[in-house]
Amino acid sequence: MHKRLDPRLALALRRMHVDSIADAWRALGPVANELGIRPPSYNATVRLVHAERRRRERLERARDAVLAAVIAGRVPTPYELERLVEALN
């Protein structure tokens, strides 16, 4: 069972532009210290980074679907717009 991580770490990771899990782990340590919480373990950082990568992929697919609709000269479907809104959250 994984210990729940502070959601502020996930939000901080969204704003970071890091290339590797190790870079994210090193960058999240000072953020956690500023927030007054324990830094995430390396394994917790792996989970955070993978979740963020999946979120970004969903956002990219949803954005591409809406843009394709607009470029094709049609209004995006409610389904396409719903996927975009879900991906933004």
pLDDT in tens, 7-47: 999 999 999 988 899 999 999 999 999 999 999 999 999 99
Q: What is the model's pLDDT at position 88?
A: 87
Mean pLDDT of the chain: 93
C-beta of residue 45 within 8 angstroms of C-beta of residue 26 = no
In the chain, what percentage of residues exceed pLDDT 90?
87
What gap in Å lies between CA 79 and CA 48, rounded to an integer?
27
Query: Binning pLDDT at 50, 70 and 90, where does residue 1 land?
Result: low
Q: Would you state the pLDDT for residue 3? A: 72
Yes or no: say if 2 and 38 are a contact pair by the CB < 8 Å rule: no
